[in-house]
Amino acid sequence: MPARLIVRAQVDGIGPYEETFEFRQEVIALGRREECDVTLQDNSVSRQHAQIQFHDGQWSVMDVGSSKGTAVNGDLLEAEKPVYLSTGDILTIAPFDIEFEAIEEDEAILTTQRFDPSQNLD
């Protein structure tokens, strides 16, 4: 089942920022590294910060040992312990709020991009 991530941030000097990503893959990596599926350009984000995974018909998220932590709906996750996700859940990674949506196959549009708010000043 595809997933949609809506990344929102309040970025100093730029203001509010929002970008949407959609995926059909079973594992989605989030972090500062360019190799991540969603690259979050902020020094408070670990190179590999969190992972979203689809397994046995259910989406989950796991902090992969980041230095600043990952929260779901305001609750800080224990490192390396997956937590199930539901549509509408909000992941918080440093200054980024990421809304999770499980979507139907026919709604998905594949996008994988680097999140760098300094490049999107429009």
Are the C-beta atoms of residues 64 and 50 closer than 8 Å to each other? Answer: yes
Please state the pTM of the whole predicted model: 0.83
- List % helix, strand, coil for the chain (3-state, nearest 5): 5, 50, 45
Give the pLDDT score at 10.
79
Mean pLDDT of 24-35: 96
Burial degree of 90 (CB within 10 A; 0-12, 13-18, 19+): middle
Give the pLDDT score at 106.
67
Question: Is residue 111 very low, low, confident or very high in pLDDT (cuts 50, 70, 90)?
Answer: very low
Residues 6+ apart with CB under 8 A from 12: none
Go through the chain and tell me how many residues it has.
Answer: 122
74-94 residue pLDDT tens = 999 999 999 999 999 999 999
- Is pLDDT of 72 > 60? yes
Place of tokens 């360019």: 34
Note the helical H segments in the chain. Answer: none
DSSP annotation of 41: -
